[in-house]
């Protein structure tokens, strides 16, 4: 059974760096086939895809946020870490991590999300 | 970036209605499209991937169709549990963008 859970601060100040951890179980992120993505959702607004890391370590970023985002994985701990620099109140959102099983599939398992407020 | 545009933004319907939501891509994405359902306070739930493949456990009243740039999600007979917001998302290439969502309300 695949599970994912986000953790990190609920409140950050403007200009600070946000670090969120996605702890997962039920799959291995050590081969190209799988990936973990981060998606966010400002209150009352739509989903926004942020970044993705494949099992082989390859990374993809949203062009509009690329300069501020870093995604890493720790295979031994079954964790994926998202870092976002220079936080602004417009970055207030629920941040989700999600599992991608591989080519052709959608994001099939999601964490519950964590609300981050920038103020 | 590939832009995804959903219509309508809001849809009012009744239990038993047939409901269709459209998603248009700004360029061809072949069949690399997924549909998600999201209820307030919950994470999105995958309904359909590869434009028309039903995710395991999803009721058969949900169906997807389309390829290239135009896609539809159809709910054949709307049930009380289906009142939610629906999102399309492409995954042909990075960045994987979402549509703006369609809220299905009573």
DSSP string, A50-115: EEEEETTS-EEE-TTTGGGEEEEEETTTTEEEEEE-S--GGG-EEEEEEEE-STT----EE---EE
Does the distance separating the beta carbons of B95 and A63 come in below 8 Å? yes
What value does the mean pLDDT take over residues A18-32? 92
Chain B residues whose beta carbon lies within 8 Å of the beta carbon of residue A113:
43
Does the distance separating the beta carbons of A46 and B100 come in below 8 Å? yes
**Which pLDDT value is given to residue A102?**
87
**Which pLDDT value is given to residue B106?**
86
Q: Testing the interface with B: which of A2, A4, A35, A47 to mutate, by most B Cβ within 10 A?
A: A47
What value does the mean pLDDT take over residues A94-116? 95
What DSSP character marks residue B18? -
pLDDT digits (tens, 9 = 90+) for A30-47: 877 899 999 999 999 999
The band of B64, judged by pLDDT with boundaries at 50, 70 and 90, is: very high
The band of B54, judged by pLDDT with boundaries at 50, 70 and 90, is: very high
**Which pLDDT value is given to residue A61?**
97
The band of B7, judged by pLDDT with boundaries at 50, 70 and 90, is: very high
Q: Give dist(CA B77, CA B85) in Å, integer.
A: 16
B49–chain A nearest CA distance, Å = 5
The band of A64, judged by pLDDT with boundaries at 50, 70 and 90, is: very high
What are the Cα distances from residue A108, in Å, to A102, B4, B19, B34, B74?
10, 20, 23, 10, 20
Q: Could you tell me if A6 and A18 are in contact, meaning their C-beta atoms sit under 8 angstroms apart?
A: no
What value does the mean pLDDT take over residues A4-26? 98
Q: Give dist(CA A7, CA B40) in Å, integer.
A: 20
What value does the mean pLDDT take over residues B35-41? 97
CB contact A2 to B (< 8 Å):
no
What value does the mean pLDDT take over residues A106-118? 97
**Which pLDDT value is given to residue A89?**
98
Chain B residues whose beta carbon lies within 8 Å of the beta carbon of residue A106:
34-36, 46, 48-49, 55, 89, 91
**Which pLDDT value is given to residue B16?**
97
pLDDT over 80 at B89, yes or no = yes
pLDDT mean across residues, chain A: 96
Burial (0-12, 13-18, 19+ Cβ within 10 Å), B58: middle
Chain A residues whose beta carbon lies within 8 Å of the beta carbon of residue B67:
none
pLDDT over 80 at B90, yes or no = yes
């Amino acid at each position: 059974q695949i599970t994912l859970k986000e953790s990190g601060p609920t409140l950050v100040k403007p200009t600070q760096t946000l670090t969120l951890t996605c702890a997962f179980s039920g799959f291995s992120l050590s081969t190209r086939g799988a990936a973990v993505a981060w998606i966010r959702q400002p209150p009352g607004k739509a989903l926004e895809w942020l970044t993705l890391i494949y099992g082989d370590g390859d990374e993809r970023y949203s062009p509009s946020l690329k300069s501020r985002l870093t995604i890493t994985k720790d295979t031994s701990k079954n964790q994926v870490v998202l870092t976002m620099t220079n936080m602004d109140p417009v970055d207030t959102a629920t941040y989700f991590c999600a599992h991608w099983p591989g080519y052709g599939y959608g994001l099939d398992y999601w964490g519950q999300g964590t609300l981050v407020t920038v103020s | 970036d590939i832009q995804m545009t959903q219509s309508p933004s809001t849809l009012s319907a009744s239990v038993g209605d047939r409901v269709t939501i459209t998603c248009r891509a700004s360029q061809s994405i072949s069949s690399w499209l997924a549909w998600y359902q999201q209820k307030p306070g919950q994470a999105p739930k995958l309904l359909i991937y590869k434009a028309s493949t039903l995710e395991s456990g999803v009721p058969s009243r949900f169906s997807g169709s389309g390829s290239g740039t135009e896609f539809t999600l159809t709910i054949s007979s709307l049930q009380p549990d289906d009142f939610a917001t629906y999102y399309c998302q492409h995954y042909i290439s990075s960045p994987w963008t979402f549509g703006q969502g369609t809220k299905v309300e009573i």
